Chain A
Amino acid sequence: MTAVIETEGLGKRYRQRWALTNCTLSIPAGHVVGLVGPNGAGKTTLLNLAAGMVAPTEGTIEVLGERAAAGPAQLARVGYLAQDAPVYAAMSVADHLRLGAHLNPGWNVEQARGRIERLDLSLGQRAGTLSGGQRAQLALTLALAKRPELLILDEPVASLDPLARREFLQDLMEAVAEQEVSVVLSSHLLSDLERACDYLIVLVDSKVRVAGPVDDLLASHHLLSGPRRHPETLPTGQEVISASHTARQTTLLVRTAGEVLDPDWTVTEVGLEDLVLAYMSDTTTRRGHARQLEVVS
């Protein structure tokens, strides 16, 4: 499977602050990829690097097999919807469509017009007076009508109300189904993406904690609960993602390719939300765990 975004040791520093360090990942084509991580994990920086908005400080990033924003041809293949969907406030909706038509050789006039009509946006309205949801829809229209192979959306629904959120994602999914496009969208809330994406990447501290098709992730993670015991006594092949202990009981989230056979454990399936949360809080848990061990010894 070819990768739409492939990074190797990617890092970006803004003055003294590293926004992303040593990030290596490969995002396959043909998916709707959810990029999830806590605030400050480097999601926006990663997507800005992918769109070529900024240049890497170290490492490499290839988007659709080329350097990001390498030239007009590469730019034409990637659609980017930045956070908060910026549009020209003084320009009308029609002006934005004209902008898209002038600046994109692959512009699809009918599609753009059709979307605007379907969304009930009036062509003459100034973009500055649109609601947040309408603005996002307008920006999405611009990104889609240039007929990209890869569509990148940075927190597309973060500033929308729940209804607008649902409408936006639904509309996005319809458009994606219609036109063969790989999608990468980020959010700090999994619930935004749960319905939309079939591939998940959890980014914490600019590192990929876990990545894979959602179905595979759900199949390979299990929640084990049983009498208190040390997590290191698990058989090899079972990786502990998170552990919590009470005086008597231990609950573990483990990742394993095979079945869990130990009869001491009660095995339950894990939801996507719990899975992602476990990975996101992973580092802190480990630190807590280490402290606990010190007390014992």
Chain B
Amino acid sequence: MIWLTWRQFRLNAASAAVVLAAFSVLLAVTGPHLATLYAGSRIGSCHGGGCGGPADDFLQQLYGNSLTGASSVDGTGAYWLLYLLAILVILGTPAVIGIFWGAPLISSEFEARTHYLVWNQSITRTRWLAVKFALTGLAAIGFTEALSLLYGWWAAPISRAVARGAVTTPLAMNQFSPLVFASHGITPLGYAAFAFALGVTAGVLIRRAIPAMALTLSVFVLLQVAVPLWARPHLFPPERSLTSLSAFADLPDVSVENGSFTVITDGWTREPEGWVLSSETVDLAGQPISSIPAACTRAAQLTGGKGESAGLLNCLSSHGVRIAVTYQPASRYWAFQWTETAIYGALALALAGYCFWRIVRRRFSP
């Protein structure tokens, strides 16, 4: 059965090997230079709040002159393209695996009616399915994890720079931001397992490869959009932190309109690697507040355009207005990684169990 599984899988395996090789070469060629650039930056020797600048400089360098539109002479500008490309590859791999490895695994047998042939050899269909499922599934997980590990090694300098407080370039994505979270650590492993099992299940249910592929893609994309938006933030109860307006490194701006005010802050520095879910202004009692307190109406009238709001800010601050931030602490990063991977893994196992039950039960029309 191992031979047959390999015989049916070898084309897929070959294409996976080609992709993995190309990916490795691309990253192996550029990785050392990226590490050299990082070593040349001052991030390694900075301390605390002084790291934001060097980290930003480093990422700016990778971003090249793309920002200004001039061509980057030394090619460093290509790194951010490579960074995004690699993320897309790692995010897309589970979907591709689900579609091209998972969905046809069983449905193509039904379509070609070859299950009649293989189920009548001296081997139970439980064993047949177990070997096919396990070997192809492990290959799917291994392949995705290999990509993810390679990429993790390559992108480590960028992750470190972001962790040190870089904020200004598009490369400076927080570790919890959907693209980064889903492409780093162990989550790709869970996605691969789930997408593969989803594909197989769709194939077992629909019994035709193309519709099964479409169903796999739709469900997987839906989940990949829905989970970061609605499920992931609630995996653990978020923390809430109150910060005085004057405690911000860069003083916030306040805009005033029709008697209500909005505080604009950038860079909540208390947990640069944490995940800010929401922030709002609250009064002394901790209740949300947006209307200007009576005592500050005069200060508000003096507020003109941007940057002239220091007076109002002081007034609000002295009347107990603070910023309440709801967030997930950075220390929970691995808890999030493990939990989400475990959930996807459990879903994959449940789907696999359903496939076995359905194949072994033999209720369907042949």
Contacts and interface: CB of A to CB of B under 8 A. Distances in A.
A104 B124 CA distance: 11
Interface in B100-128: 112-114, 116-125, 127
A78 interface: yes
Given A14-B365, A48-B366, A91-B7, A86 B121 contact: no
A51 B124 contact: no
B112 A89 contact: yes
A239 interface: no
B120 A55 contact: no
A183 B361 CA distance: 27
Contacts, number: 87
B112 A86 contact: yes
Contacts of B117: 82, 86-88, 139, 142
Contacts of A78: 120
Contact of A104 (B7, B8, B119, B121): B121
Contacts of B230: none
A102 B4 contact: yes
A156 to B, nearest CB: 13
B306 interface: no
Interface stretch (A68-76, A222-230, A256-264, A286-294): A68-76
Main secondary structure of the interface of B (DSSP, over half): loop
A46 to B, nearest CB: 12
Interface size class of B (residues with CB under 8 A): 20 to 34
B189 to A, nearest CB: 30
Interface in B258-277: none
Interface size class of A (residues with CB under 8 A): 35 or more
A198 interface: no
Contacts of A53: 116, 119-120, 362, 366
20 contacts: A14-B364, A14-B365, A52-B119, A53-B119, A53-B362, A54-B365, A55-B361, A69-B125, A72-B123, A72-B124, A75-B122, A82-B120, A86-B113, A87-B117, A88-B114, A100-B121, A103-B121, A104-B122, A106-B122, A139-B117
Given A55-B362, A99-B118, A99-B121, 8 more contacts: A52-B362, A75-B122, A75-B124, A82-B116, A98-B7, A99-B4, A102-B1, A102-B3
Interface of B: 1, 3-4, 7-8, 112-114, 116-125, 127, 361-366
